[in-house]
Structure 1
């Protein structure tokens, strides 16, 4: 589901450590919900095989990205698989940002300090992932943008349904939510009813 930065979904569900069966279950639920963006972290076992399986099935319903992209080689491999966006906990090189632009893939490198964040945008990043967000707190986003201007920032790391609105109200444009997105016991048990209720409650909370 190719999307522009201006229409990129507000919340990205980060899936790490789930096998293909569990990933497929969660994508089915996301596809029917108000949440339309999902990241498969590359430090998940068989992550690229999972991406190759889910992209043809869900690409019309969800924006699908690869996370924990650390090298140009990994970037090229996931772009070849057809991802819509790529994320990293660290900065991308200019070559990586340029490769994303050349291939129509949204780049979301990670940064922490004002200098790193500004450098990412200067290198051509579309969105910058502020990570770990819980270490700097919600006010950081407002304080950062007071001198730098409004920036497309994604808060990742410690973001939960309970504090999501705090980040959004303080200036984060996007959120990435990992373990707090789904109750792991419900995922393990395949409790579709409970998982669906969790998504609906979260969507209502943040106005999706």
Structure 2
């Protein structure tokens, strides 16, 4: 997977059952790679979700792994087909090495300009600024003044009301967790409402 093809919006899938996760991935096939999905390592069946999701729907949905904290998790997720990996913190050099060899996109997290530069220097394809709601949209514009335009993702507290502000302030990508769907729509596997929620977020992406 080439970073130039990475979708503008990534759904963060945390705390979902296997069945719920597979329904959401299937819904995403309607959007043909416009929205990606990260399956976090603190889902009990995260490896099975990534494996089966790729087998059934990988031609229409980019599926990756989230909450990567160590090399073991990175290797396990790559082995079942993860196309990208995100973390809640900076990545250690061994994670970058594993990802490079497997041609998997790396999206470590940072909270300061120094951490952003450190991750870019180690080879990050995209740097996730987390928690974005604490930093605020203006932070994205402010740090890219001295650093130049960078591939930055806003994650943490992103919702449909502030999404466009993050884009307009210089975020290239958004990661959206619990604010993507109404919890009851996930529980009842309401495909129509899940699809509508995704469409609403897609409309926040600038042309």
Tell me whether the two structures share a fold, i.e. TM-score over 0.5.
yes
Whether the 8 Å contact between 1:94 and 1:124 is mirrored in structure 2 is no
Aligned length: 206
Structure 2 counterparts to residues 124-143 of structure 1, below 5 A: 124-143=123-142
Whether the 8 Å contact between 1:160 and 1:177 is mirrored in structure 2 is yes
- Which stretch of the first structure deviates more once superposed, 192-201 or 81-90? 192-201
- Per the TM alignment, residue 207 of structure 1 is displaced from its structure 2 partner at its CA by 5.0
- Per the TM alignment, residue 36 of structure 1 is displaced from its structure 2 partner at its CA by 2.9
- Which stretch of the first structure deviates more once superposed, 195-204 or 130-139? 195-204
* Counterpart for residue 57 of structure 2: 58
- 2:201 is the alignment partner of 1:202: yes
TM-score (norm 2): 0.95
Whether the 8 Å contact between 2:164 and 2:206 is mirrored in structure 1 is no
* Counterpart for residue 156 of structure 1: 155
- Which stretch of the first structure deviates more once superposed, 34-43 or 102-111? 34-43
* SS of structure 2 residue aligned to 1:23: helix
Whether the 8 Å contact between 2:130 and 2:155 is mirrored in structure 1 is yes
- Per the TM alignment, residue 193 of structure 1 is displaced from its structure 2 partner at its CA by 1.8
Once superposed, which parts of structure 1, at least 4 consecutive aligned residues long, lie more than 4 Å away? none
* Counterpart for residue 170 of structure 1: 169
* Counterpart for residue 31 of structure 1: 29
- 2:162 is the alignment partner of 1:183: no
Whether the 8 Å contact between 2:132 and 2:154 is mirrored in structure 1 is yes
Structure 2 counterparts to residues 59-98 of structure 1, below 5 A: 59-98=58-97
* SS of structure 2 residue aligned to 1:151: coil
* Counterpart for residue 192 of structure 1: 191
* SS of structure 2 residue aligned to 1:90: coil
- Per the TM alignment, residue 56 of structure 1 is displaced from its structure 2 partner at its CA by 0.9
- Per the TM alignment, residue 68 of structure 1 is displaced from its structure 2 partner at its CA by 0.3
Whole-Å separation in 2 of the counterparts to 1:127 and 1:184: 29
- Which stretch of the first structure deviates more once superposed, 44-53 or 64-73? 44-53
Q: CA RMSD in A?
A: 1.3
